[in-house]
Structure 1
Amino acid sequence: MTPITEVAGRKVTLSNLDKVLHPATGFTKGELLHYYATSAPALLPHLHDRPVSFLRYPDGPDGQVFFTKNVPPGTPDWVATTEVPRSEGPARMVMVQDLPSLMWAANQVTEFHTPQWRAQAPDLADRLVLDLDPGAPATIVECCLVAVWLRDRLAADGLTAYAKTSGSKGLHLLAALEPTPSADVSAYAKALAVEAQADLPGLVIHRMTRSLRPTKVFVDFSQNAARKTTAAPYTLRAREAPTVSTPVTWDEVESCADPAELVFTAGDIAPRLERHGDLLEPLVDAGLAGSLP
């Protein structure tokens, strides 16, 4: 029998709790649901009012992995949805606004990805993101060097950068913005990437061309485009181990000498939240947003 539990007054179906989803550690779906329930106070503010794309991996990372953007069939009527513009015409997407919605979505076994804008203003970004992706043999250690350069460059323009691991190989930098047209943010982010490459030519590449990327850090500015999404803070990733896109301190970034130092799994998050709180909390405080120069 499929268990049904009550979450904040909503009935949520939870299924296949013993299924192993992250085989490197035997991490089960029940443990995944527990992780999302306990990390919800930190995660939910970063999802609030944003249409959510789900990267689903219902049979683990070695099974079928696919994006779901439209409202899935069978979505409960109490889950919030919003209409979003697309080139092929408007569509409806899920918004994860509360704990019951989070647990319903987590039962689908998903990574959570969001755009840089909120549903009320689909083409006005309220944050900037730079995705630092290392080309082997470069690692997150090299990403950290680039991140410090970008942090200081953003500070020169009056923007405060925050860092999180991607939960995969790289690092994400984010800065809170006054609502700004996505096209303007994209242009600014591209200019930063070009400038980083000019200043760090042996370390940075701003073009996506695969053949150019070995040994260097690709500064991906494209996720600022209105149609693009980025893995949300605290989302689990579809990997062999239950790695999490985890906010990190600048001390951790500056001191990183081994990639293992910035790998965090589900079990690491509660102690980090207890120690640091949500390091990305300033991103959801409109009073701390900056403006592009």
Structure 2
Amino acid sequence: MPITEIEGRKIKLSHLDRVLWPDTGTTKGELLHYYASVAEVLIPHCAGRLASFVRTPDGVQGQRFFQKRPPAGTPDWVTTAELLRSSGELMPQVRVDDLATLMWAANLACVEIHTPQWKAASPGTADRLVVDLDPGPDRTVVDCCQVALLLRERLAADGIETWAKTSGSKGLHLYAALRDADSRQASAYARRIAQELERAHPDRVVSRMAKEDRAGRVFIDWSQNSAKKTTATPYTVRARPEPTVSTPLAWSEVADAAGPADLAFTIADVPGRIAAHGDLLAPLLAGSAAAPLPS
């Protein structure tokens, strides 16, 4: 079992040739290589936030589970923070603040990384707004793009700038940076905007949770802003049949998408996009981008 040293931390790497994606033959070693390649842009988006992981130790076609608590044997150098649960329990969770922690997690086949829209140091503050666009039956990510453009224009009218990324699955995520807001306010605002677009475009948009209402429309999931929920972090790999990535987009790509293949990116594609364009979500991290919710 090889031992590597990353930022002064020793990590035992195991089963690097294990195939995690049988359809493409992609191995755990390739997963680690991808995360090492994108760490510089990924980590700033999840640093300081409590991370939840989707683990697939036997591959994406095998058993998978969502892990919030640090697994047994977590090294003492891995940064954790405690979450106060509704039961009153203080539950520790990992923070992916550095490359060593990212590589340690990837070695455990933590394929996906999910984070909330608040930081561990300020759990009462929502510093991000997120809207998840999910295509219903007979709709695709291209339909989500059309709704995303409507949302971008609507939020801009309230002084809120937005950025887009693929979910890495079927839809899109829209992000905005917030200030002076909490999770309930962010969720209420996102719900109001979703309902407003549903009234304006009832044949294209639905804001209700009931799955039977989604056929032929795009579901605007405003509930991701709940303090209890998490969203796939930018640049995370997804446990899909192929090693797709939740990938930041330019708005021109959203506007020009002609088919789902135009917005399907894997671990083989994303490092090249970063080399060519940098982090397209970097403005989300700038303090100057944060806007208040309308009163």
- TM bin, normalised by shorter chain, reads over 0.9
Equivalent residue number for residue 196 of structure 1: 197
Q: How does 1:1-293 map to 2 (within 5 A)?
A: 2-88=1-87, 89-110=89-110, 111-293=112-294
Q: Structure 1 CA distance, aligned partners of 2:68 and 2:180?
A: 24
CA contact (8 A) 2:21 2:61 kept: no
> Which residue identity does 2:250 align to in structure 1?
T
Deviations 1:115-171 (A, max 9, x none): 000011112110000000001210001000000000000100001110000000000
C-alpha deviation, 1:287, in angstroms:
2.2
Kindly provide the amino acid, as one letter, of the partner of residue 106 in structure 1.
Answer: A
1:157-191 Cα shifts (integer Å, max 9, x gaps): 00111000000000000001114111000000000
Structure 2 unpaired stretches of 5+? none
Cα distance in 2 for residues equivalent to 1:286 and 1:227:
24
Long gaps (5+) in structure 1: none
Q: Distance in 1 between matches of 2:107 and 2:200?
A: 46
What code does the residue aligned with 1:237 have?
A: R
Relative to structure 2, which stretch is displaced further, 143-152 or 11-20?
A: 11-20
Structure 2 CA distance for aligned equivalents of residues 60 and 196 of structure 1: 39
TM-score scaled by structure 1?
0.98
Of stretches 149-158 and 206-215 in structure 1, the one that deviates more from structure 2 is: 206-215
Over the matched positions of the two proteins, sequence identity in percent amounts to: 57
- Given the two structures, how large is their TM-score scaled by the length of structure 2? 0.97
Separation of aligned partners in 2, 1:44 and 1:247: 14
Q: After superposition, what is the alpha-carbon deviation per residue over 1:257-283, rounded to whole angstroms, capped at 9, x for unaligned?
A: 101100000011111001111011112
Shift of 1:200: 1.1
RMSD: 0.8
CA distance in 2, matches of 1:101, 1:268: 23
Aligned-partner SS, 2:160: coil
Q: Which stretch has the larger CA shift, 134-143 or 57-66?
A: 57-66
- The runs of at least 4 consecutive aligned structure 1 residues that moved more than 2 Å come to none
Please give the alpha-carbon distance, in whole angstroms, between the structure 1 residues aligned to 2:51 and 2:264: 25
CA–CA distance in structure 2, aligned partners of residues 134 and 75 of structure 1: 38
C-alpha contact (below 8 Å) 2:148/2:174 kept by paired residues: yes
Q: Is the 8 A contact 1:116 1:125 kept in 2?
A: yes
CA-CA distance at 1:22 after TM superposition: 1.3
2-side partners of 1:119 and 1:133: how far apart?
A: 28
Given that residues 165 and 262 in structure 1 are in contact (C-alpha distance below 8 angstroms), is that contact kept between their aligned partners in structure 2?
A: yes
Larger deviation, residues 145-154 vs 268-277: 268-277
Q: Secondary structure at the match of 1:180?
A: coil
Q: Quote the Cα distance in structure 1 between the aligned partners of 2:93 and 2:161.
A: 30
Residue identity matched to 1:281: A
Matched to 2:29, the amino acid is G
